[in-house]
């Protein structure tokens, strides 16, 4: 069952798109860009590189996933970063939703694998934008600096 696209443009308790810091971050990230695909790419890069990946970030309270909290903290893991990107998309008029999947974390350190019990991450969070008539996935988890340190190419998104 497909929901109307306007439901993917609304604020929620977690996707707090009316928060002043969230609105300002979105505005700064997109500047004068008008094309929705280019806006989505700019938002993706702003979240991917502007919010540091931290697999040990707080996650035990609902507010730890809230877009404004993630922005204020400046670091988090895949689910809150995806929630922030989803929220920013909505601020910019791009229908956006969260998605979850199971992935292998190729940047996992031995310490993280020992902590998690595996490099298989269940409930990896990503964002889906509705662009040019279809849903497209964007995964802003690993910031560029982290990827360079681990000698892997950063994940890209082109809409």
C-alpha–C-alpha distance, residues 96 and 43, integer Å: 12
Residue 138 is assigned to a structural domain of this protein:
yes
Residue 139 is assigned to a structural domain of this protein:
yes
Tell me the pLDDT tens digit for each residue of 6-51.
Answer: 999 999 999 999 999 999 999 999 999 999 999 999 999 999 999 9
**Which of 87-96, 112-121, 132-141 is least confident?**
112-121
**Which of 27-36, 86-95, 144-153 is least confident?**
144-153
Number of domains in the chain: 1
CATH number for the domain spanning 115: value is: 3.10.620.30
Residue 2 is assigned to a structural domain of this protein:
no
Cβ proximity of 11 and 66 under 8 Å = no
Range of the domain at 67: 13-149
Q: Tell me how far CA of residue 27 lies from CA of 9, 47, 91, 93, in angstroms.
A: 16, 13, 9, 12
Residue 155 is assigned to a structural domain of this protein:
no
Query: Could you report how far apart the first and last alpha carbons of the chain are, in Å?
Result: 24
Q: What is the mean pLDDT of the chain?
A: 93
The two three-digit tokens of residue 48, written as one number: 């991917």
Residue 159 is assigned to a structural domain of this protein:
no
């Amino acid at each position: 069952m497909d929901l109307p696209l306007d439901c993917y443009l609304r604020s929620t308790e977690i996707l707090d798109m009316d928060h002043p810091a969230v609105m300002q971050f979105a505005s700064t990230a997109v500047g004068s860009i008008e094309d929705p695909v280019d806006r989505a790419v700019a938002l993706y890069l702003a979240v991917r590189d502007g919010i540091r990946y931290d697999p040990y970030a707080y996650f035990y309270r609902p507010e730890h996933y809230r877009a404004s909290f993630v922005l204020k903290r400046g670091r988090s893991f895949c689910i809150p970063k995806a929630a922030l990107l989803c929220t920013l998309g909505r601020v910019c008029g791009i229908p956006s939703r969260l998605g979850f999947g199971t992935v292998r974390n190729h940047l996992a350190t031995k310490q993280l694998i020992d902590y998690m019990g595996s490099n298989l991450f269940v409930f990896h969070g990503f964002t889906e934008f509705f662009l040019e008539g279809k849903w497209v996935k964007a995964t802003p988890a690993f910031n560029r600096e982290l990827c360079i340190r681990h000698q892997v190419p950063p994940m890209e998104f082109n809409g």
